[in-house]
Amino acid sequence: MPSLTLVQAINTALREEMQRDEHVLVLGEDIGKNGGVFRATEGLYNEFGGNRVIDTPLNESSIVGVSIGLSLYGFKPIAEIQFLDFIYPAFDQIASELSKLRYRSGGEYKAPIVIRSPYGGGAKGGPYHSQSLETFFTHIPGLKVIIPSNPYDAKGLLKAAVREDDPIVFLEPKRLYRSTKSEVPDEDYIVPIGKARVAREGKDVSVFAYGAVIPTVLEASEKAQQEGISTEIVDLRTLVPLDLEAVLASVKKTGRAVIVYEAPKFMGYGAEIAALIAEEALEYLEAPIARVGGFDTPYPYAHENLYMPTPTRILNAIKKVAKY
């Protein structure tokens, strides 16, 4: 079984799905001969040619708009937005057209489109290349939102996404592209959409997180263990549909919840998790719910390591709810 980085797992999933189904194609800026900014599509142009690996103009609204048209004619487009920060010009296409296509047509038209994009900080990208905008898309009915945290999940979830008939926003934590590596099966497999993963079993505090912060949460959990606090880490994997059953099961087990995400704390995805826990499991809580997020400022360049949730900030939140 090969050991792959996260970006290699993405590349492998794209290649396998394009080999499996001739209707699958990829399009985006510089993804052809160049293989994309992060080389996620490296080698695909040579194997599949320019009709299925399409370099587009620097026009995000066109990338998504063309993908919608292709899907109506039976293709399965995988559209890459070079950085998630660049997606705003395509937001109207996504929110007003793509997400509503099946609903407005009474199910006559499907929308089997995957929009891939790297998100988050940790790569010295500054305020225009480092944002975490996932909450915008979770608020739009009709979209599914997926964020893997490791190579195995990245391959399995992307393959599952390509086989869906619904539009999917697939966000890739770019600081994990080459910083994490794990065994990934050669054989075909998928990771079911809508199922969370318990990354670490524990009994004192539940920590809910996804994507780029999972390794940081695991580090904080190790430090908490040294102080006698057992943490259970739930990797959400899919933000929409959310595995609420897994969230509630963990909270009912521990009675305490910490939610970690890199986006600005105010109105971040963690607010929805906190609200759902309060609505569905309030009687099980032994302490107030804690959130650890980014700060409510533009994303800094020089101090990005202070902006992102750190093991110390996460550990302090764990200790606070554990000792309440």
Give the active site residues: 129
What contacts 97, CB < 8 A, 6 or more positions away? 65, 68
Rounded CA separation 214/248 (Å): 19
What contacts 249, CB < 8 A, 6 or more positions away? none
Any idea what DSSP says for residue 239? E
Question: What number of CA atoms fall less than 13 Å from residue 235's CA on the CB side?
Answer: 22
> Three-state DSSP class for 140?
coil
Pull the structure tokens for residue 244.
């609420």
φ, ψ dihedrals at 169, nearest 5°: -100, 115
Tell me how far CA of residue 257 lies from CA of 157, 194, 292, 294, 302, in angstroms.
Answer: 26, 20, 11, 18, 31
Rounded CA separation 251/246 (Å): 9
Give the ranges where the chain is alpha helix by DSSP (H). Answer: 6-20, 44-48, 60-72, 91-92, 101-104, 134-138, 151-162, 214-226, 244-254, 269-281, 304-307, 311-322
